[in-house]
Structure 1
Amino acid sequence: MSKLFTTVIQNRLYKWCEEKNILPESQAGFRKKRGCEDQMFCLNALIQSRLSRNAKLHVLFVDFKRAFDSVRQEILWEKMNNLGISAKIINILRSLYDNANLIVRCEEGLTKPIPVTMGYFKGKSPLLFSIYISDLENYMEENGASPVNVGKNNKINQLLFADDTCVPADTKIGLQKKINIKQILPRNEP
């Protein structure tokens, strides 16, 4: 029953996020009508635009280790609230996670229940992680990380596919600035 319930909640939350454009345009992971091919196309267009102008391109590929397991839930609830996600939905999700415990089997037997304060349930992780990092692109721009121009009207600061990230920059210094900003993420600061 709880699996069906959480699936209904997730579907409603996903629909709301898409309608309100909560998830960044740069995120293609686990979204309808988007995929890895879209990100590969964008990266290829970026490379081709640089080659045609004989310009340099610096690219960093990041795979956040244990991304879904390492996010502090309290920060997610705060971000969801700041995005305008219904308090009812947040409270339902919070109650599911507040009551989550982990019991470990070891040689001596089973441990006492250990509260789970980080990470998400399997299957619900991608959407919640996408919400969690939805402000990253704005954060990068606010902190001086310039997007890369592709043509006249298109700019790319990052290409996301769930927890895999491609970070392009025009210069080594620009890429280093983006790397410094990305290093903040694992600390789970709001």
Structure 2
Amino acid sequence: MEDCVDAQLRDQHTGFRKDPLCTDQIPTPRIIVEQSIEWNSSLYINFIDYEKSFDSVDRTTLWKPLRYYGVPQNIVNIIQNSYDGLNCEVVHGGQVTDSFEVKTGVRQGLNIHKGKSKIFRYNTACTNPITIDGEDLEDVKIFAYLGRIIDEHGGSDADVKGRVGNA
């Protein structure tokens, strides 16, 4: 199945494949910050964290794209059977409950985790808060992602100092 999926994903989808890693994308915003400094231009970066994105997948529609992208039917069946019609019983205090169907998350869409989403601004005149559902997103000068640091100076100096300090 991995070969079928990898053939369809763009290089930017690092979190969904074995290589490259999510942290391999860190140089991109660093370069953008460096160029913004060099060109003396304003910069806004919004780091968005989506909460529970795995559980938000509508699994009733998941099987069709798997087939479309060439995942063999027997593999699709195995995955589908692990979700559809799954029944369980609970043993508590020596007593067994009646069987019940397990229904995993089928919420639609992705919810933004407002507590983890951040706003990074450089050389901007506008300092108005950015608000989602009445909650202001935090403005930051330093952003850490998977242990890597992006700051208002660009480059990797802050990241290297941070990792050396943690060693």
* Aligned residue type for 2:42: K
1:60 to 46, 56, 60: 46
Q: Which residue pairs with 1:92 in the alignment? A: 78
Q: Which residue pairs with 1:35 in the alignment? A: 21
Q: How many residues align?
A: 113
Distance 1:94 1:38, change over 3 A: same
TM-score by length of 1: 0.45
Displacement of 1:26: 1.5
Q: Which residue pairs with 1:71 in the alignment? A: 57
Gap runs ≥5 in structure 1: 1-12, 120-132, 134-163, 180-190
Displacement of 1:95: 1.8
Q: Partners in 2 of 1:43 and 1:103 — Cα distance?
A: 49
1:98-133 residue CA offsets vs partner (Å, 9 max, x unmatched): 1423556889984641332437xxxxxxxxxxxxx9
Displacement of 1:44: 0.9
Greater strand fraction, Structure 1 or Structure 2: 2
Q: Which residue pairs with 1:118 in the alignment? A: 105
TM-score by length of 2: 0.50
Displacement of 1:73: 0.7
8 Å CA contact 1:63–1:165 kept in 2: the answer is yes
Q: Tell which has more relative contact order, 1 or 2 (C-alpha 8 A, sep 6+).
A: 1
8 Å CA contact 1:72–1:117 kept in 2: the answer is no
Gap runs ≥5 in structure 2: 111-115, 121-125, 133-167
1:34-66 residue CA offsets vs partner (Å, 9 max, x unmatched): 223311112212222222222233222222211
Cα RMSD (Å) of the superposition?
3.8
8 Å CA contact 1:97–1:116 kept in 2: the answer is yes
> Is 1:17 aligned with 2:8?
no
Greater helix fraction, Structure 1 or Structure 2: 1
